[in-house]
Amino acid sequence: MSQGREHARAPSGARLEEAALIERVLAGDAAAERALFDAHVDRLYRLAFRMTGDEDLAGDCVQEIFVRAFDRLPGFRREAALGTWLHSIGVSVVLNALRKRKRTSGREVSLDAVGARGRSDATSAPLLRERLKKAIDALPEDQRLVFVMYEVEGYSHAEIASALDIPQGTSKARLHYARRKLRVLLADVVEHALYG
Amino acid sequence: MSDDFFAGLRDELRAAYNAPPETPRESLWRGLQARRGGARPPLTILPAAAAGRRRRLGWALPIAAALLLGISIGRFVPFAAAPAADTATASGAPADPADGRTATSFGDLPAASRGPAAVADASEAESGGPAPASARSAAEEAGAGPGPAPTERLVGAEAARDGPAWPGAEVTDVADRFAAGEGRALRASRDALYRVAALETLGSAEALLGAVGGLEEGYGSAPAALAEWSHEMLSQTRLLLDSPAAGDPALRVLLQDLELVLAQLVRMGEGTTPEGDMVLIEGAVRERQLLHRIRAILPARPITSGT
């Protein structure tokens, strides 16, 4: 489907390396901590930034994810890949941060408002992007998260299901609802932009 | 409908929807270290460090214990064996009764400053009179004779207070008291060391906060340098806060306030704090009167004439 989904499952060799890395971290090896951080920080930061759209908040989230991860690593049962486990922490941290931000700012975009805006002239690329962004922002949070993870960042349904602790079917259903809403909201603008 | 709708949009989606910048790895890592340094309870650090020290000093501990035992016996036995007049000569120390060695051995520091005789007097006063004959016999058995040797009087006073539980209990009593005295002495030195460390940290904090003030006025160190300095200070402050010797509530509150400001300074260096927050940091320093409170604790420095 996308480039991202190709690395959905880590090969067994990588899992062995990962296990060795975890052992070193647990033994207090600072270099191993840094290696673990380097191995996962990019993907986590990308997801945090996609979801928050704020550099500071994304940075805070990533730091919080690793603080929790290093604290809880002794209890990591290794049934899933480390990346999956980190993402489950990550999703929880990011959603908490978003809820906190929503409480303080109280700003939300309604679906109607998104649909009504910009219909008169939807041909320019900047406008298309603006409409896309607003339409995705207007999705309910659980659907937005699945949509961003799947369509934008290229996660597989298996990864999304593990990270969100939901069945894969739920992940697919959320994606379906998100797509349906976006198709309605973006039909005109996409037609103009893609097919002239 | 098919996925083609979104497949055709994918590039646009990636560009349009919160396209992330390059991951600021280094600043994230530094921030993470700072947060973990601040949040991690010292017990997770100190045992490892202590274990390392134990491994390194493993061979030295039995030697140190033997030396300590030898010195303590050496300090005690001359007093018990020799008459008071000969005590100093026998132990090779000056005959000044106020040298405090006896008292230090027994950990009775206030009485110690007045010398062995005062210690014995204090013990007698505690027991409500002179030592009974039964208590004296222990010292006599030890070969000290019936003379008024300070150690004998101490043992007697102690025995009179607690009463000997079994033959030779006086000796155990002295050993217990010796151990308790050593414990008190160790606690006293630990507290003194803590005080020195706290004053040193507060001295550095005073300089750092001064530099922060300079930054706002357009001079002083660069934010990055200040953040690095703050990072070191943050670790020290955290250690002080978590030390078992941290008993002074006022000092504790001051260190907690300092810790908050230091954490803000660290974040400023990572670039995760907006520049406008520098004003907030300055405001926090002023509002909490950090500098005044630190200076109130720091000892006065000698004023040197000239520059």
How many H-runs (helices) and E-runs (strands) does chain A carry? 9, 0
Alpha-carbon distance B11 to nearest alpha carbon in chain A (angstroms): 9
The mean per-residue pLDDT over the stretch A50-65 comes to 94
What pLDDT score does B86 carry? 45
The mean per-residue pLDDT over the stretch B141-157 comes to 44
Q: Tell me which of A121 and B284 has the higher pLDDT.
A: B284
Q: Tell me which of B91 and A10 has the higher pLDDT.
A: A10
Mark out chain A residues that contact chain B at CB-CB < 8 A.
Answer: 1-2, 28, 34, 37-38, 41-42, 45-46, 49-53, 55-56, 58-60, 62-64, 66-67, 70, 125, 128-130, 132-133, 136, 148, 151-152, 179, 182-183, 186, 190, 193-194
Q: Tell me which of A58 and B305 has the higher pLDDT.
A: A58
**CB contact set of A59 (below 8 Å; sequence gap of 6+):** A45, A48, B24, B27, B28, B31, B270, B272
**Has residue A62 got a pLDDT over 50?**
yes
CA separation for the pair B216, B212 (Å, rounded) = 7
In one letter, which amino acid is B62? P
Q: Tell me which of A13 and A46 has the higher pLDDT.
A: A46
Residue B50 at interface with chain A, using a CB cutoff of 8 Å = no
CA separation for the pair B72, A91 (Å, rounded) = 62
Alpha-carbon distance B120 to nearest alpha carbon in chain A (angstroms): 53
Q: How does pLDDT run across A70-107, given as a tens digit for each residue?
A: 999 999 888 888 999 999 999 999 999 998 887 776 54
Q: Is the dihedral of CA B130, B133, B135, B136 positive or negative?
A: positive
**Has residue B185 got a pLDDT over 60?**
yes
Question: Rounded to a whole number, what is the largest CA-CA distance in chain A?
Answer: 62
On average, the pLDDT of chain B sits at 63
**Has residue A109 got a pLDDT over 60?**
no
User: Alpha helix (H) ranges present in B59-148?
Assistant: 60-81, 84-91, 101-106, 109-112, 116-127, 133-141
**Has residue B140 got a pLDDT over 70?**
no
**Has residue A195 got a pLDDT over 90?**
no
Tell me whether residues B31 and A132 touch, CB distance under 8 A.
no
What pLDDT score does A5 carry? 58
**Has residue B276 got a pLDDT over 90?**
no
Tell me whether residues B28 and A193 touch, CB distance under 8 A.
no
Mutate to test the interface with A, among B3, B11, B14, B23 (most CBs of A within 10 A): B23
Q: How does pLDDT run across B17-67, given as a tens digit for each residue?
A: 999 999 999 999 999 988 887 544 443 334 444 444 444 555 566 666 766
Task: List chain A residues with CB under 8 Å of B39.
Answer: 67
Tell me whether residues A51 and B18 touch, CB distance under 8 A.
yes
DSSP state of A119: -
Least confident of A95-104, A127-136, B179-188: B179-188
Q: Tell me which of B119 and B281 has the higher pLDDT.
A: B281
Q: Which tokens hold the place of B255?
A: 């260190």
In this structure, what are the phi and psi dihedrals at residue B182, rounded to the nearest 5 degrees? -60, -40
Tell me whether residues A41 and B23 touch, CB distance under 8 A.
yes
What pLDDT score does B139 carry? 41
B12 closest CB neighbour out of A51, A128, A182: A128
**Has residue B77 got a pLDDT over 90?**
no
A129 closest CB neighbour out of B12, B270, B273: B12
Alpha-carbon distance B23 to nearest alpha carbon in chain A (angstroms): 6
Q: How does pLDDT run across A145-192, given as a tens digit for each residue?
A: 999 999 999 999 999 999 999 999 999 999 999 999 988 888 776 666
**CB contact set of B27 (below 8 Å; sequence gap of 6+):** A59, B270, B271, B272
Tell me whether residues A190 and B16 touch, CB distance under 8 A.
no
A-B CB pairs within 8 A amount to 91
B36 closest CB neighbour out of A67, A125, A133: A67
What pLDDT score does B218 carry? 46
CA separation for the pair A52, B121 (Å, rounded) = 75
What pLDDT score does B55 carry? 47
B6 closest CB neighbour out of A46, A125, A151: A151
Q: Which tokens hold the place of B113?
A: 């400053």
The complex scores an ipTM of 0.82
Provide the pLDDT confidence category of residue B211 given band limits of 50, 70 and 90: confident
What pLDDT score does A158 carry? 93
What pLDDT score does A147 carry? 94
CA nearest to A127, candidates A70, A71, A175, A188? A188
Provide the pLDDT confidence category of residue B283 given band limits of 50, 70 and 90: confident
Task: List chain A residues with CB under 8 Å of B10.
Answer: 2, 151-152
The mean per-residue pLDDT over the stretch B174-189 comes to 70
Task: List chain B residues with CB under 8 Å of A38.
Answer: 25
The mean per-residue pLDDT over the stretch B286-298 comes to 79
What pLDDT score does B130 carry? 45
What pLDDT score does A125 carry? 65
Q: Which tokens hold the place of B182?
A: 């050593």
A63 closest CB neighbour out of B9, B15, B35: B35
Tell me whether residues B272 and A60 touch, CB distance under 8 A.
yes
What pLDDT score does B170 carry? 54
What pLDDT score does B118 carry? 40
Task: List chain A residues with CB under 8 Å of B36.
Answer: 67, 70
In one letter, which amino acid is B166? W
What pLDDT score does A13 carry? 73
Q: Tell me which of A68 and B95 has the higher pLDDT.
A: A68
